Each structure stands twice: as C-alpha cells, then as structure tokens.
Amino acid sequence: MNIYDKTEDLAASIKASGEYEDFLRCKKKISSDPRAVAMLREYRQYQIALEFAKMSGEGVDELNSALEDFCIRMEEDTSVGEYLTAEYNLTRMMQNIQSILTDDLDLYLDADWQEEDCYLN
C-alpha cells in the first residue's frame, strides 16, 4: 500500500469519527439559521480583529472586553455553542493527528530546535 492509499484511509477514518459526525450535524443545524450564521461570522470577525490588535499592540483590552460581552450574548444561542464545541473537538483531533505525524518524523536540524530560534533579532 502506498502513502496516498494510507492517506485516503486516514481521511475515511476521520469522516467516520464521532468528532466529524458531530461537527457535520452541528454545521447542518447552524447553516439553516441565518441569525446563528451571522452571530458566528461576527464572532470570527472579533477573533481576527483581536489577533491583529495583539500583533500591533493596540486596542487589545477594548477588543477583549467587546469579545467577552459578545460571548455572553452568544451563550444564549445553544446551536452556536454546540457548533463551536464540535468544531473545537474536530480541530483538536486534527492537531493531534498532525502532531503524531510530525513528532515521528525527523524534520528539524536538531532536537534542541525551538520556535523562537527562527525569528530574526
């Protein structure tokens, strides 16, 4: 069996997982509710704005406060919360799979390589 066949098997296993099935169920549920979709879109916009603010070092506190207020309102919609939980569980599983693959491969120059070593001073 070649690597692409194994990759297709892995994709099939992911599709058969409870995490993926739960994600699809929640995605279908939220997709039929325009208000929930708009709320999720606004949440994503807050997340992106907060990341840009962190990079620039400006407006972080204000955005954090606004995001906290928005999350309180968002908690009232259980379908959005269920979707975000399902999305988190699926992406967590995908990150774990990626870690398994990269940890087993000797990709770096040495074992002492650290992320901060790649930044310019």
Q: What is the pLDDT of residue 115?
A: 60
* C-alpha triplet 85, 88, 23: angle, nearest 5°: 70
Question: Could you tell me which of 75, 74, 69 has the C-alpha nearest to residue 38?
Answer: 74
pLDDT tens track, the chain, 121 positions? 699 999 999 999 999 999 999 999 999 999 999 999 999 999 899 889 888 888 888 888 888 888 888 888 888 888 998 999 999 999 999 999 998 888 878 777 665 656 666 666 5
Q: Does an H or E element contain 39, and which?
A: helix 34-56
- 40 contacts: CB under 8 Å, gap ≥ 6: 30, 80, 83, 84
Q: Which amino acid is at 27?
A: K
Q: What is the pLDDT of residue 24?
A: 97
